[in-house]
Structure 1
């Protein structure tokens, strides 16, 4: 691709970090769920390190245009769990930070729990309520509070496995729905499961996205439509989080010089 959105970014992007969270819960033992105090301590740790918080789209645009990459961070939440509003937003509001939430639009206001391979094991268990998705009212409230709302497709499929027409539909229809419901542009995307390839990147560009987040064990060279994110999970407490989010650790994972952690499973 010749597009500027496909190019690699020469800036020292390991100094600009993007964190990827999912659910927030003290009781749900899923690896995807961080505790409320855990989230609060992690954001406070970044503030003590003098990080400035941007939305995902703002961070990618700033670094891609050659702006300063040092000491900026974006906090992102995938999947659109209701706990993004009921727990995460309250923590971030207290700490003066905004974030980005990526939602699979089929589930918003559906009255049905989130369900796809990787989380469906919790259906029918005492923790099923943790699978409740955001309502449209909550999504609008997040947007009003300064959060960025991006697409996580319509139904949360593995995009590289889809035929071209279904791939285009998942990307375009989710984008259009967010723009219609929130009355503002939707220009950012997170690939479900972190799964992408060059065909998916081309489709995302064709759909009109300007930035897209990925989630892999080894961090790829940053590109606007394949921007590396650091997955934060229940196991990432204390020193483990500090090491995982340190710029030199991020640099090491981007070069393969140091296998800091085993590749993470994303949702």
Structure 2
């Protein structure tokens, strides 16, 4: 599918994976709507072709209004890349007692339900676009994690939410096939994002040493490169693609 002269939604688009993806799609000629919280947008880089929209992905009314904006951009809405997410850690039974249920629910609400919310409301708008070759209308890419498969100690909430994204992939692709919309998921390994900005170089080097090859952390632009390839490759559908240097995480 061609990216140029189309509209794209990227959630979590103000930083990390989302910012890299928004910039990459804009460089290919897309009109990109980067959804993020107001606090994130304040410090976001200004990129030609990227318009920031203040959105809480868990709020259906906010998402509907933002999707309507993207769909009314004057070019067909063809692409959605869901990158918004959080990753706090807590043991099921820790020194301070049982896992906080509200935190567990918040992680699932943002990572899984938020992605589903955007997917669903954007898909409705994509179905209203003119069909391309083979009846294609668009593609939706969600973001899981290798934690969906190799969740570590303290990742019960995060792994649950990302496991949900993995489980959503095939049924969503089957549901939306009749509308010409493909659905895929990227499951990154350890990526050099703002989430790692607070850790020491020594800790970061230790994480990189555990990756079989290449022995380094992934870069956000590599996620963006993979997302672009998925968009352009019309026969990829209903699949989860690991981007992890063949890393299989240990229990801790």
Q: Please indicate the TM-score interval, normalised by the length of the shorter structure.
A: 0.3 to 0.5
**TM-score, scaled relative to structure 1:** 0.33
